[in-house]
Amino acid sequence: TQFASGFAGDHNLKLGAEFERSTVVSELGYAGGGYIGAYSGVPYYAYLWDGYLRDSVNTRLSAYAQDSWQVNSRLTINPGIRVDHIRGDLNSIAHGGGIFKTTSWGPRVGFAFDVAGNGQTVFKGHWGRYYDGAKSTYFDLMTPANPFYVVYLDPSTGSPISEPYQLTAGGTVHSMDPDIKHPRMDQAILGLQHELFPNFSVGVTGIYRKNSNFIDDVLTDASGWEKVTLPDPGPDNEEGTSDDPGTTLDFYEQVSDPDDNRFLITNPEDAYREYKGVELMAEKRFSDRWMLQASWVISKIEGNINNTGNFGNSAEYDSPNTDPRFQPFRDGRLTNDNTHLAKLLGMWQGPWGVIASGAYFYTSGGTFNRTVRVRLDAQREVFASATVDELAAL
């Protein structure tokens, strides 16, 4: 940290660096290597699987520089930049210098301007680009899987009566995009705060955020799927009734061998998530032994990739039934789209230095919509939904 003056105002410079190394070990399998399926206590078949061991290592090298630049008595500017180099490795397979590698530059700048020069009205804003942390879930699907077998059993003795039949192939069906980019969020804030009378102020702030560079495993070849177009049955989910909208929905049935599916871990170009909100606030600063702060956020979140998790490599692009490129109705309000968020915080200082405080939070409910489920054959159920939030309800 360094303070400097005389260079177009006063500066408070900060420089820093960070090195992080973390290990993540995930193991899944059946105790004893198998699982017996029974009906009414009578064994009929067994699944045989050696499971998997995902032994992941994350390394991150980061550096940042920022400045609090007081240009004059009315204007302060806060510029900064951060760079992260992240590498992901798997100890279980041979590799050459990292399976997953990204380098991300995150600039940001903010300002505060005293409008009248009397400290009563402040106009402030901020823009910044922020990247997710290092996560093993972005690349651990590259771990080779063991094959999966089924063997039929004698109901009387439980002994095998067939040779093990291989259900899934071993190895890995995933590959990594060599030009993978790290997930990020761009954020812009613009606000105005005004002191109505001493120690009491009100303000309004507009907030915009856009998430991009999502990481997902995308089915590389959809030619093994056949489109099935069916009438939309309407809200009652029964075809031929008065609420039928007269539109159709596209579903996709896989006609190829699922073992032939291959996936590319990449950044789907069309995947996005967008947040727009406005915050209204009122604040009574601490004086006369008490303070109070109230805020109300009204927001809207839209996109075509849901906001129920941020681990990457979800089920969103694993088939044409969950791929926004094939399912346009998946673009809309997201599951955790809480339109209203209200907060009330208070504190009072009593005798002998005792402080009493309280908080009240109110959040409106999540978004929901109807879901259409269709059975295309006797062995497999496939799903498509009208908006991205519907799939989360299945």
Q: What is the mean pLDDT of the chain?
A: 90
Q: Is the dihedral of CA 209, 212, 217, 221 positive or negative?
A: positive
Q: What is the pLDDT of residues 229-273, one digit of tens each?
A: 999 998 888 888 999 999 999 999 999 988 889 999 999 999 999
Predicted local confidence at residue 237, as pLDDT: 87
Nearest residue to 17 via CA among 109, 99, 81, 71: 81
- How far apart are the C-alpha atoms of 170 and 146, rounded to whole Å? 5
Overall average pLDDT of the 207-222 stretch: 96
- Residue owning tokens 């789209």: 337
Q: What is the pLDDT of residues 334-358, one digit of tens each?
A: 989 999 999 999 999 999 989 999 9
Q: What is the pLDDT of residues 21-67, one digit of tens each?
A: 999 998 889 988 899 999 888 898 999 999 888 899 999 999 999 99
Q: Are 285 and 291 in contact (CB under 8 A)?
A: yes
Q: What is the pLDDT of residues 278-325, one digit of tens each?
A: 999 999 999 999 999 999 999 999 999 988 888 999 989 999 999 999
Predicted local confidence at residue 390, as pLDDT: 42
**CA torsion, ordered 220, 175, 171, 21, to nearest 10 deg:** -150
Q: What percent of the chain has pLDDT over 90?
A: 67
Give the residue, 95 or 20, on which the prediction is more confident.
Answer: 20
Q: List, in sequence order, every residue forming a beta bridge with 35; answer none if it has no partner.
A: 47
> Read out DSSP for 108-148?
EEEEEEESSSSSSEEEEEEEEEEE----GGGTGGGSPBPPE
Instruction: Flag whether pLDDT at 331 surpasses 50.
Output: yes
- How far apart are the C-alpha atoms of 209 and 188, rounded to whole Å? 7
3-state secondary structure of 257: coil
Give the residue, 19 or 144, on which the prediction is more confident.
Answer: 19
Instruction: Name all contacts of 148-156 with Cβ < 8 Å and 24+ positions apart.
Output: 148/47, 148/48, 148/49, 149/47, 149/48, 149/49, 150/45, 150/46, 150/47, 150/48, 151/45, 151/46, 151/48, 152/44, 152/45, 153/36, 153/43, 153/44, 153/45, 153/46, 155/42, 155/43, 155/44
Instruction: Flag whether pLDDT at 179 surpasses 80.
Output: yes
Predicted local confidence at residue 170, as pLDDT: 78
Predicted local confidence at residue 97, as pLDDT: 62
Instruction: Flag whether pLDDT at 384 surpasses 50.
Output: no
Q: What is the pLDDT of residues 81-113, one digit of tens each?
A: 999 999 999 987 665 567 999 999 999 999 999
Which range (10-19, 99-108, 326-335) has the least confidence?
A: 326-335
Predicted local confidence at residue 94, as pLDDT: 60
